[in-house]
Amino acid sequence: MSSKTSTRIGPAQEGQRMSLAEFEHAETEGERLFELSRGVVIMVDVPKPRHLKLFDAGGVPGELHEGP
């Protein structure tokens, strides 16, 4: 029986260097999204659904709150 240690990625790994091979097979903690950018783990900042609705309203956020 062989045991394989899997790499886990969570907020604590943000900024750490990692190979593409490690990243491809890594498991993420929770529902967060991660990217590998030039060999460095980056946690992706995804807006909440409320923010998406602002864009779906048909414009850029600045247009929704125009001043006088």
What is the rounded average pLDDT of the residues 38-54? Answer: 81
What is the rounded average pLDDT of the residues 19-36? Answer: 90
Residue 68 inside a domain? The answer is no
In this prediction, what percent of the chain has a pLDDT beyond 90? Answer: 40
Contact 47, 38 (CB under 8 A): no
What is the rounded average pLDDT of the residues 18-31? Answer: 90
Residue 13 inside a domain? The answer is yes
Residue 36 inside a domain? The answer is yes
Residue 3 inside a domain? The answer is no
Return the higher-pLDDT residue of 23 and 68: 23
**What residue numbers bound the domain in which 41 lies?**
8-60
Confidence band of 46 (pLDDT split at 50, 70, 90): confident
Give the separation between CA 46 and CA 33, rounded to whole angstroms: 8
Structural domain total, the chain: 1
Residue 16 inside a domain? The answer is yes
Direct distance between the N- and C-terminal alpha carbons of the chain, in angstroms, rounded to an integer = 71
Q: Is 65 helix (H, G, I), strand (E, B) or coil?
A: coil
Which candidate, 13, 52, 50, 51, places its Cα nearest to that of 30?
13
Q: What integer pLDDT is reported at residue 57 of this predicted model? A: 58
Residue matched to tokens 């890594």: 26
